[in-house]
Structure 1
Amino acid sequence: MFKVKNFNDVKSFATEAKTKLVYGRNFTLVDTPGLFDSGRSLGAVNPELLRCIIECAPGPHIFLIILKVEKYTEQEEDVITKIRQYFSDDALKYAAVVFTHGDQLPEGMKIEQYAAQSEGLWELVQKCGGRCHVFDNRYWKNKKEEEYRSNTFQLAELLNTIDKIIMANRGGHYSNTVLKNIEREIQEEVKLLKLSSENMSEDEIRQQVKSIVLQKQSQNNFQFWKKVSVGVGLLAVLIFVRLYWKSNAVQVPLHTIESVREAGENALQQAAEHAIPNTFEAICNHLNALFEKIYNPFCPFE
């Protein structure tokens, strides 16, 4: 139901959600972009991360961690390390690892044996309660010679695993403060929309509300980081000026320092807005770059 996403295609880096009847039950699958792929900037990841959280609200019943059957390079090991680091143990109680490209699995080998070859990968599977499955959409669709290498067999196994996860968690879904706040906002918007849209179905209302909440949250995030950038940028310049004065051992009366400080702050504010926008923007960009190195955007469920 989903198109294969090309890493270089910016438009393909998007979250999608689709619902389908499978064996008598409705499943909604939220297909997220590759949040752990290297080369994605914070600006590209954050909007889709927000969309993912809104689509998942009030919380997912199951996390499916999708990986490929392949020889692991340092990059793949890094992805595994990030998943183990960013997903809390509580979230992994709701998770299963699903491998694609099952035709790459050596003959006679089961997916658990394959996963056990990598210490980091095996630790991830164990944190997911030992739950792992394998599919291959190219060769296993209609293959019936070997039951294990059949998507029909693997689908039944996955659905069985999903049932076990739901039972183990007493039918509940995963949630946290972020998801609860988003769901609360969605419910408030639903009440408002119902007052003015009597002819819309529940599903139509919720879909429209998700778009409204996404737009509001995106705007709030933009305003927040805009304020942070301005505040941190001015603070950095003031610190630099004070350190410069200190390093040059300038002896200035206290009242003069305060006057200069106040004048300096006003001048910096005006300069930031009018006189030297390029300089101020460069300072903010530099600070934001430092921020991106330490900030973890891949942790929506912490």
Structure 2
Amino acid sequence: MDAAGQEAERGAAVGAAVGGVQVEIVQGTIETQQADVLVSPMVGDYPLSTRVGNILHEAAGSWLTNGFRKVGGEEAMPGDSVLVEGLPGLPTHAVFFLSLIPWDGDESGTTVQVLRLGINNILTSCENRGFASVALPVLGAGIALRFPHSVVARVLMEEIRAFEETRTSSTSLLVRIVTHPSDKEAYEAFMSVQEAVTHKEITENDYKDDQDSTTKRIVLLGKTGSGKSHLANTIFGEQLFTANNSANSGTNQCQVETKSISGKSITLVDTPGFFDTRRPEEELNREIISSMTTCSPGPHVFLIVLKVEKFTTHEQEIVGEICKHFSEDALKYAVVVFTHGDQLEKGTKIEEFVSQNKDLRDLVVKCGGRCHVFDNKYWNNKGQNNYRSNQLQLEALLQTIDKMVKEKDGACYTNTFLQNVEKVIRKQEGRIRASLGHLALQEIRKLAQANVSNQFLIQLAGIATGVLLGAFFGVEAMIRYVFKKIPGGISLVGPVVLAAGEVALTTGAIAGGVAIGTAAVAGGIIGGKAGHDAAVGAKTPTEAVKKAYKAVTDKRQAVLQKLEKN
């Protein structure tokens, strides 16, 4: 094993594996490291402005400066990284040159924010390009940039930790931090900070568990008119939520409010009529995305809101839709809450009402036997010890929620979609923190959630537009082919298959109706992809629709021109 390998091996013994990211702190020289890519700091856009840059230049010669100019490195801004590949004379043939600003003495100032941004850019680029390992020196230390070792060590380790928390890939990434053998101060600084960061992770995780036991994210689900908003107002004790009694009333948008109840923080997400069949599916999808980004990484509790009335097939379908959108596991985190409690016969408790209907009884059993009842009108002024009292029922509901969350050790309901949403939100938080570090954590979180929700809505708008137009144009292309190739427009043709703008005819005659269906589906798939790709970079859903429309119509024109030539 060569010296570099021995150094890495010794360093690995003191490294920390954090999920898919492994951190090694080694003593060695950067130019001898065997990794997919090296990192060299520079002042501004001059690659030879630091000691590391000059050392790499001695090994690679003019290939380094020529390659840097070729990829446009002279336009690098602070925090940018410039990748130069194909360098001879090094164990690795690729180097990231990271543009930094000299230390200004402020541990939370511009120079540190640029350093944070640059580290995040390096790690993100490694993941995007498929690099499995990266070696970097003590960034910012030295005569040119003058960063204190303690500051570099803290910032670098914090950004690696933040990157691991927000990354969407599960592939492994080795981050090797190389301190020079003669620089014992740097090595000790990194080892000290690494131990402190590890301790902080444990402390923060313990705190998170304590917070989860008192702070609850609760999502109300049910059809329009079931009393979700009235129930939310009853829980909070004031009129914060707007009631929508029909699919056409109100804003039909999710509403989120947070308040302390009996010393416990509760966030309520009042969803619109998710399961109202009169609402367009695209509109429902938009509201689901908005609701889920709001309560990411997932709700602690679902309140399935039903009226005290006959449990019909429609109500049963609502439960089916809940399981369809969130999976049946959601019921393990659910409480069935009935409204319009005055409809109960005198002296009847809600458990007795539930027992009279098998389907309703089965639902409550799947929800762990958890059910409560409220009334929107007549139970507000009754004494606390009276069963027909919202005050009594609220205390019982909160006790049920506390017990359920405690039994689950503070865990919330989540799924793959919600997990991915949370990763994207945290990545946004990192970017916002780097550029707007003065904001409070709550403000950063809200801004990140809004940005992510808007991104998803833009993609949804592009895909939906593309699918619709693609399906239509797919049918149009097939019809044109029929009337061009077959005299009289005979309806027996080979199915039209659209792929990447190509039109191909397979053998075998089938009925014209099936051919139209095939063309529509194929066109819809291609249109959806074109719409999705076109929506990238759009800033609003409206802009995404316009871009998707242009992309699909351009593809349509290319298809029709090909038909004319055949």
| Fold similarity call, TM over 0.5 | yes
> 2:336 corresponds to which residue?
97
Kept in 2: contact 1:17–1:30 (CA 8 A): yes
Cα distance, 1:26 vs. partner?
0.3
1:142 aligns with 2:367: no
Three-state SS of the structure 2 residue aligned to 1:93 is: helix
Q: Answer with 177-186 or 65-74: which moved more.
A: 65-74
Q: Secondary structure at the match of 2:260?
A: strand
* Structure having the higher Rg: 2
SS at match of 1:199: coil
Q: Measured at CA, do residues 148 and 243 of structure 1 come closer, stay the same or move farther in structure 2, by a change above 3 Å?
A: farther
In the alignment, does 2:448 pair up with 1:209?
A: yes
CA shift in 2, pair 1:69/1:6, >3 Å = same
Equivalence for 1:259: none
- Displacement of 1:74: 4.7
Cα deviation for residue 8 of structure 1 reads 4.4
Q: Structure 1 220/82 Cα, relative in aligned 2: closer, same or farther at 3 Å?
A: closer
Task: State the Cα deviation string for residues 238-297 of structure 1 (Å, max 9, x = none).
Answer: 45566776884999xxxxxxxxxxx995xxxxxxxxxxxxxxxxx79xx89xxxxxxxxx
Q: Aligned residue for 1:117? A: 356
Q: Of the candidates 54, 58, 65, which is equivalent to residue 297 of structure 2?
A: 58
8 Å CA contact 1:7–1:13 kept in 2: the answer is no
What corresponds to 1:15 in structure 2? 254
Q: Please, which runs of 5 or more residues in structure 1 have no aligned partner?
A: 252-262, 266-282, 289-302
Alpha carbons 1:98, 1:134 under 8 Å: kept:
yes
Q: 2 CA distance for matches of 1:127 and 1:105?
A: 23
Q: 1:233 aligns with which of 472, 482, 486?
A: 472
SS at match of 2:448: helix
Change (3 A) 1:264 1:144: closer
Q: What residue number does 2:132 align with?
A: none
**Residue of 71, 76, 89 corresponding to 2:310:** 71
Q: Does 1:170 align with 2:409?
A: yes
Aligned partner of 1:219 in structure 2 is 458
- Cα distance in 2 between the residues matched to 1:109 and 1:41: 39
Alignment check: 8 A CA contact 1:6 1:12 kept: no
Map residues 229-268 of structure 1 onto 2, 5 A cutoff: 229-239=468-478, 248=490
Secondary structure at 1:213 match in 2:
helix
Q: Quick check: 1:187 aligned with 2:398?
A: no
Count, aligned residues: 260
Closer, same or farther in 2 for the Cα pair 1:33/1:159, shift >3 Å? same
More helix by share: 1
Please say if residues 384 and 392 of structure 2, whose CA atoms lie closer than 8 Å, have aligned partners that are also in contact.
no
Name the counterpart of 1:130. Answer: 369
Percent identity among equivalent residues? 39
Cα distance, 1:34 vs structure 2: 1.8
Asked if 2 retains the 8 angstrom alpha-carbon contact of 1:61 and 1:94, the reply is: yes
Q: Normalized against structure 2, the TM-score is what?
A: 0.42
CA RMSD of aligned residues (A): 3.2
Q: Which runs of 5+ in 2 are unaligned?
A: 1-239, 494-500, 504-519, 526-566
After superposition, the C-alpha distances for 1:29-67 in whole angstroms (9 at most, x for unaligned) are: 111112112311113212111101111111111111111
- Between the aligned partners of 1:208 and 1:77, the Cα distance in structure 2 is 37
CA distance in 1, matches of 2:455, 2:408: 33
Deviation at 1:9, TM superposition (A): 3.9
Q: Which moved more, 1:190-199 or 1:27-36?
A: 190-199
Deviation string, structure 1 residues 96-132 (Cα, Å, up to 9, x no partner): 1011111111111111111222222221111101110
Give the alignment partner of residue 439 of structure 2, picking from 183, 200, 225: 200
CA distance in 2, matches of 1:85, 1:220: 22
- Partner Cα separation in structure 2 for residue 84 and residue 43 of structure 1: 19
Q: Which sits farther off after the overlay, 50-59 or 142-151? A: 142-151
Q: Does 1:42 align with 2:276?
A: no
CA contact (8 A) 1:53 1:179 kept: yes
Aligned partners of 2:385 and 2:325: how far apart in 1?
Answer: 37
Provide the residue aligned with 1:106 in structure 2.
Answer: 345
Q: Secondary structure at the match of 1:12?
A: coil
In the TM superposition, residue 27 of structure 1 has moved relative to its aligned partner by: 0.6
Question: Which residue number in structure 2 is paired with residue 255 of structure 1?
Answer: none
Distance across 1 between alignment mates of 2:421 and 2:385: 46
Distance 1:190 1:85, change over 3 A: closer
CA distance in 2: counterparts of 1:145 and 1:188, whole angstroms:
47
Indicate conservation of the 8 Å contact 2:302/2:335, yes or no: yes
Offset of 1:176 from its aligned partner?
A: 0.9
CA distance in 2, matches of 1:173, 1:65: 16
